[in-house]
């Protein structure tokens, strides 16, 4: 029998499959990268659409709407600085 700490139970649809933790971690990392790319793409598209809407309504462009969120790494660094 294998050590429980070497395996992880992963849910695929309505099934649970036992996989090595390293493989599970890599799968989750890849999924997160793909989700981050999709989120960034949608944010960029939203900015363009909102600016078009404001332009069509004769309103000035939103101020601060083109800001980008901080990455997880940037947030860690900020938290370290704030903690002293």
| pLDDT on residue 68 | 78
* Alpha carbon distance 44, 52 (integer Å): 13
Nearest CA to 21 out of 36, 4, 33 is that of 4
pLDDT at 62 over 90: no
Nearest to 72 by CA among 34, 32, 27: 32
Domain parsing of the chain, residue ranges: 1-63
34-59 per-position pLDDT tens digit:
999 999 899 889 988 988 998 899 98
pTM above 0.85, yes or no: no
6-20 pLDDT, tens digit each: 899 999 899 999 999
Q: Are 47 and 65 in contact (CB under 8 A)?
A: yes
Q: Please tell me the predicted confidence (pLDDT) of residue 4.
A: 54
pLDDT of residue 69: 79
Q: What is the DSSP track for 48-77?
A: HHHHHHHHHTTPPPPTTTT--PPPHHHHHH
């Amino acid at each position: 029998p294998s050590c429980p700490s070497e395996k992880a139970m992963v849910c695929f649809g309505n099934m649970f499959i036992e996989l090595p933790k390293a493989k599970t971690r890599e799968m989750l990392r890849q999924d997160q990268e793909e989700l981050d790319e999709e989120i960034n793409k949608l944010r960029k598209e939203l900015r363009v659409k909102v600016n078009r809407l404001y332009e069509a309504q004769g309103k000035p462009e939103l101020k601060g709407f083109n800001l980008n969120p901080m990455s997880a790494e940037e947030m860690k660094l900020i938290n370290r600085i704030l903690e002293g």
